[in-house]
Structure 1
């Protein structure tokens, strides 16, 4: 009886974890799809905004293309290789958070945010809060993924793969 109760608890945890992982995966796919679409959909604005940042012109041009490409790569991995997609998302969001912290610390001059769409009117503090929430969700998803992978029998399919 005790074994059955433990099994039911672990099954409930697995199902809850699976649902949470699916939801976070969809949120991150939506974030990166939106990011890529907004950046590539209005490349002149994206390029202009990047050049208003503190980066030298060649780096700003590179970033104007790299940011949406990295968003596409992240979302593709989230669809086809969840662990890699989550790791890329965490790294990408970490870079964004570090950039915002540098701007907020006034080490460099504040410039126009290179975001567009619904984020265009958001200030850097709002971006920081949003990015921290997305980063936290990605870390939670990676934890759930790893926990379920470690606890699964070798013959079972892991969550989110």
Structure 2
């Protein structure tokens, strides 16, 4: 019974992460030029804007797809947790500085969030990703 609950929770978290990463990655690729321009508005990202504007959404999609398949799920969860940690730190940086006037470069409906809402959203998904790595380890041992 206990293991069954872990499986259900883990499956729901996986579904949410797959949805999040495939959706945001695809959205960024479909609006590639806008995403690139938004990245380049930050002076420290300007030289890497073109590179990041392609590699980040592709990495997000790869992470989402990796989570969806059992042989690559653990690898995808680690990638998702790492990405969410970086994204959360980035949003925290934006809030700490005077950068909140800049548009959010996230894809889809996420860009409609305020920076504070975005921080809480990212914290939630960061915790979910790290928790699911732990849950996956528990499932593996039982």
Scaled by the length of structure 1, the TM-score of the pair is: 0.80
- Report the equivalent of 2:108: 117
Deviates more, 1:34-43 or 1:72-81: 72-81
Asked if the contact 1:47–1:61 (Cα under 8 Å) also holds between the matched residues in 2, the reply is yes
SS at match of 2:112: coil
Identify the match of residue 82 of structure 2 among 66, 71, 91.
91
Alpha-carbon RMSD across the aligned residues, in angstroms, is 1.4
- Is 1:71 aligned to 2:60, yes or no? yes
Whole-Å Cα distance in 1 between the matches of residues 45 and 66 of structure 2?
Answer: 30
Gaps of 5+ in 2: none
Alpha carbons of structure 1 residues 62 and 73: separation in structure 2 relative to 1, 3 Å: same
Tell me whether 1:137 sits opposite 2:137 in the alignment.
no
Contact 2:37-2:49 within 8 A present in 1 as well? no
Aligned residues: 139
Greater than 6 Å deviation, 4+ residue runs: none
Higher-Rg structure is: 1
Identify, as 1 or 2, the structure richer in helix. Answer: 2
Equivalent residues of 1:53, 1:60 under 8 A apart? no
- Partner Cα separation in structure 1 for residue 47 and residue 6 of structure 2: 44
What is aligned with 1:155?
Answer: none
Residue aligning to 1:149? 140
Per-residue deviation at 1:56?
4.0
